[in-house]
Amino acid sequence: MSMAARRGKPKIRPPRKLGPDTSIKDTWTKLANAIREIQNHNASKLSFEEHYRYAYNMVLHKHGDQLYNGVKGLIAEHLDQLARDTIVPTFPRTSGSSSRGAEAIERAMEGDRFLKAVKGVWDDHTGSMRKLKDVLKYMDRSYTTSAGVPDIYEVGLTLFLQHIVRATPIHTHLIATLLSQVQLERDGETITRSTVRECVDILLRLSINDSNVYLADFEPEFLRRSADFYKLEAVTMLEKGDSALYLRNVERRLIEEADRTAHYLSSMTTNPLQDLLVEQLLSPHLSAILDASTGLTSMVDTEKVGDLRRLYTLLLRVPENIGRDALRLALRIDIEERGKAVNQSATETPDNDEDPKGKGKAKESNALSSALRWVQDTLDLKDKFDQLLAQAFGNDLSVQTSINEAFQSFINATPRAPEFLSLFIDEHLKKGTKAKTEDEIDQALEKTIILFRFLHDKDKFERYYKNHLARRMLYGRSASDDAEKGMVAKLKVEMGFQFTQKLEGMFTDMRISSEGATTFRNYLNRHGALPFDLSVNVLTASYWPQAIAAASTCTFNSTLAVATSTFQRYYDSRHSGRRLTWQGNLGHADVRVRFKARTHDLNVSTQALVVLLLFEDVDELSYEDIQAGSGLADAELGRTLQSLACGKFRILLKTPKGREVNPGDIFAFNDGFTCPLAKIKIMQVASKVESPREREETQVQVDEERKHVVEVSRLRRTR
């Protein structure tokens, strides 16, 4: 030391011995008395310095263990006394079975009193322990560290655990009371949460051998009780049979329990408890909740978006996606059920029409309307579920998949879905149906595209669509060219270029034909005019539906034959190597007919014209005569005659009378026909909806085509 060096040899005086003025025994007696005083809240009478010095001296003179154990003994003694005096008298009466009303309130108060007593003892104990810790600070500093024992405050906590918390019978009472307080609150009673919170905090503060007393003594029992309680509650609630109510209750309980753990239990319990609730209230009862009469189906029926959203969010909590999967399955079944109903109503209507009343046209329009209804119903259903998906199911992708799968399965369960869909589009694109704005049409078509996506038999749809499109274009019924093209463009987006190639070919044919009309007129001007106007649509056979292309032709009489041959010549002069086949079933004609009363302009199909022309010279012809004269096939002829003789305007009279045309019937020109209108349009009895026989044919053709495609792809693979 520099100072020492400077001053030469300093004399270091030994410190005065702080030797025990009194014996250790006396010191301890004084200290013990002082500790008792501290415990009895009389610290202000004591000199800290004095007693600190006593403890200091005891430790300094190697009596640390005596001091340590002595203090321990004093603390234990004091705790026992407190237990006896303060806690035992407040023991609640043996906790009876859960009851309501006054008794429950009393029990809540008794429990509260008991817990308050425990808390009081705890406060008292920790208070005096803090003082003791200060007084015995020197002991904690030197004795406890060197002896390797816990410091005195920790000892105090351990002793509290041994003598209060885990002492019989306090322990059982304490845990039971905490549980019963929780139970009382679950049953709807009011309890003093703060008291419970304080006692739980004591348990949380205490630990032995690194295991927390709360976790060791309280939580397992608490969870077990909760599981029992909710297991029972689940059963009783389910017996009421109201899923929406049940779910609301589950939601309430989840919030309550989360609130409970946050407010007066430990956050450590939050997750186990929530899992437990899900495990008891949801997991085992998924099917019961979903399938109940008030379950998913009724919620969807009544569009209870709130309930459905609750259902979805709750089921999401079930681990491993089990809940969501159950929901998906239930949704799927539900949608398929609904789909089945839609399918049924679509197929039922024609059956009803089997009775003799509904015949002919009525049947046709009924079948058509049922097709339209099917599509509309399906769209409505889809709309509904789309809405639910967005509002209740959070646009969950996997739920969406299930919904789509369900739609796919029920739509494809309807063999006539492609036809229905095409009819629906036909209805919207056709001229003269209900007046609709372009937006409405566009919307409707957009939706049909959605259904189209679900369709498996897309080739079948193409076939029908082609048929309907052909009819629309050839009969000039298409409402708007733009809408038609828009629809084809949509299909193109969905299916690619190949799919719509032929449809576009049809459009091209129509365009070229109308352009060709001008050149033909010029040709006529040069080569002499025909006795009537002629406009011809030249169709490329491969683009157009087979049914149209392959239909048999008919015999034109001399007047018409002149026209056809003129056009033939004109066409040959412009193109070589092309063969024209005349299709009488697709055209129409304006013809002026003189009746007895007045002259009418009739708009009839080409075939009807051919038939009418047969009556130019004769008044009466038999079915067979007409057939021979026109060269029409049975089906075609039957339809044509029906439109002329059985429709609204009867140009021909049939004997015997009736709606059906049969071989052997006699037809006569109806000279006495009257009608206020000058111009009359005679509608061909259209076969919009396929008859069962036609449908079979279509199926055969589709199969035929598919076989071809399969073979081609097989060939590609073998290469």
Partner 1 sequence: MTVTSVVRDAVIAKRGSKTNESIVKTGRILLSTMAESDFVLLESEDGFTFSVPRKVACASNILKSMLDEEAAFSESTTNSCKIQYRGVIVLKIVEYLAYKVQYQDVNAEDITEDFSERIDPYIALELLTAADFLDT
* Contact set with partner 1 (CB under 8 A): 1-4, 7, 10-16, 18, 43-50, 52-53, 56, 130-131, 134-135, 137-138, 141
Q: 47 vs 558, which CB is nearer to partner 1? A: 47
The answer to whether the beta carbons of residues 615 and 606 sit under 8 Å apart is: no
Q: Least distance to partner 1 from the beta carbon of 153, Å?
A: 13
Q: Least distance to partner 1 from the beta carbon of 24, Å?
A: 18
Q: Least distance to partner 1 from the beta carbon of 272, Å?
A: 38
- Which residues are within 8 A (CB) of 661 and not within 5 positions of it... i.e. 6 or more apart? 623, 637, 638, 641, 642, 645, 646, 654
Q: Please measure the distance between the N-terminal and C-terminal CA atoms of the chain and give it in whole angstroms.
A: 103
Which strands sit side by side in the sheet containing 620-622, from one edge to the other?
Answer: 620-622, 666-669, 652-655
Helix (H, G, I), strand (E, B) or coil at 639: helix
Q: Which of 182, 327, 314, 351 is nearest to 261 (CA)?
A: 182
**Separation of alpha carbons 7 and 106, rounded Å:** 83
Amino acid, res. 132: L
Q: 146 vs 401, which CB is nearer to partner 1? A: 146
Q: Least distance to partner 1 from the beta carbon of 9, Å?
A: 10
Long-range contacts of 205-211 (CB under 8 A, 24+ apart): 205/157, 206/157, 206/160, 206/161, 206/165, 208/158, 208/161
Antiparallel, parallel or unpaired: β 620-622 and 666-669: antiparallel
Q: Least distance to partner 1 from the beta carbon of 52, Å?
A: 6
- Which residues are within 8 A (CB) of 99 and not within 5 positions of it... i.e. 6 or more apart? 107
- Which residues are within 8 A (CB) of 71 and not within 5 positions of it... i.e. 6 or more apart? 35, 132, 136, 152, 155
Q: 33 vs 401, which CB is nearer to partner 1? A: 33
**Separation of alpha carbons 243 and 251, rounded Å:** 12
Helix (H, G, I), strand (E, B) or coil at 588: strand
**Separation of alpha carbons 428 and 445, rounded Å:** 8
Q: 46 vs 329, which CB is nearer to partner 1? A: 46
Q: 6 vs 716, which CB is nearer to partner 1? A: 6
Q: 133 vs 471, which CB is nearer to partner 1? A: 133
Q: 26 vs 703, which CB is nearer to partner 1? A: 26
Q: 2 vs 293, which CB is nearer to partner 1? A: 2
Using alpha carbons only, give the angle 412, 416, 419 rounded to the nearest 5 degrees: 115
User: CA-CA distances (angstroms) from residue 53 to 31, 40, 58, 69, 319?
Assistant: 10, 21, 8, 18, 63
Q: Least distance to partner 1 from the beta carbon of 213, Å?
A: 26
Q: Least distance to partner 1 from the beta carbon of 76, Å?
A: 22
Q: 128 vs 183, which CB is nearer to partner 1? A: 128
What the block records as the tokens of 369 is 């309307």
**Separation of alpha carbons 237 and 250, rounded Å:** 10
Q: Least distance to partner 1 from the beta carbon of 137, Å?
A: 6
Q: Least distance to partner 1 from the beta carbon of 64, Å?
A: 15
Q: 131 vs 453, which CB is nearer to partner 1? A: 131
Q: Least distance to partner 1 from the beta carbon of 42, Å?
A: 10
